[in-house]
Structure 1
């Protein structure tokens, strides 16, 4: 067994463009852009915070950061990110450190890709 297999971790981002469209219809272009931009900033901050708290071993604080991330992601239609954040929370709750490490890595990957996707979708609205 001298061979190492590298797994490519590539899964589609789960977004609801209808949620974003509804924001634009409800708030108008300027209002929706403001909400989406603030949400994106908050998501990026919370993803970074969750990673830092994980490295520092602060599970309870990390759980709060991930739970708040879920509410923000839901607001702008990032359902895949919400689902993975729920998995991270479940790993924290069960104390499964190995699953937590893997699931947090997945959350960070999905989070980065979701932010890129929402940026692209938002650009199409303007």
Structure 2
């Protein structure tokens, strides 16, 4: 008898993220280094918290709460130059509004990947972006 060999392929999805350093530079110029750092740190904490809450709401099937949480990510991410994260959060909200569970699953997974990478990426910006916009 022939031997059956199964192969499992794992696709590792990795998202490219980018920060709008111009937006950060404007923030630093408008607020000054200390105040801008405070705003960015608070925004990052809020993003991490809301991503975590959105994930919990999704797992628990609390879609209206998930939508509210995800929608709130848009303005916060936009404020600190994370337009990619803001855009995908808007797409997740659109999937909820359309009632498309399959698209929601895929798009929300993407939001979580981009959120994680974006939070890491902003910490890689070594110095405040103080160049003139």
Query: TM tier, shorter chain?
Result: over 0.9
TM-score of the aligned structures, taking structure 1 as reference length:
0.92
Note the aligned Cα RMSD (angstroms).
Answer: 1.5
Query: Which of structures 1 and 2 has the larger relative contact order (alpha carbons within 8 angstroms, sep 6+)?
Result: 2
Residue aligning to 1:24? 28
How many residues align? The count is 125
What does residue range 87-98 of structure 1 map to in structure 2 within 5 Å? Answer: 87-98=91-102
TM-score of the aligned structures, taking structure 2 as reference length:
0.88
1:106 aligns with 2:110: yes
Structure with greater proportional helix content: 1
Runs (5+) with no aligned partner, structure 1: none
Runs (5+) with no aligned partner, structure 2: none
Q: Which structure has the larger Rg?
A: 2
Runs of 4+ aligned residues of structure 1 deviating over 6 Å after TM superposition are none
Q: Report the 3-state secondary structure (helix = DSSP H, G, I; strand = E; otherwise coil) of the residue aligned with 2:50.
A: helix
1:75 aligns with 2:79: yes
CA-to-partner distance for each residue in 1:78-107, whole Å, 9 max, x for gaps?
Answer: 011011111111111111112211111111
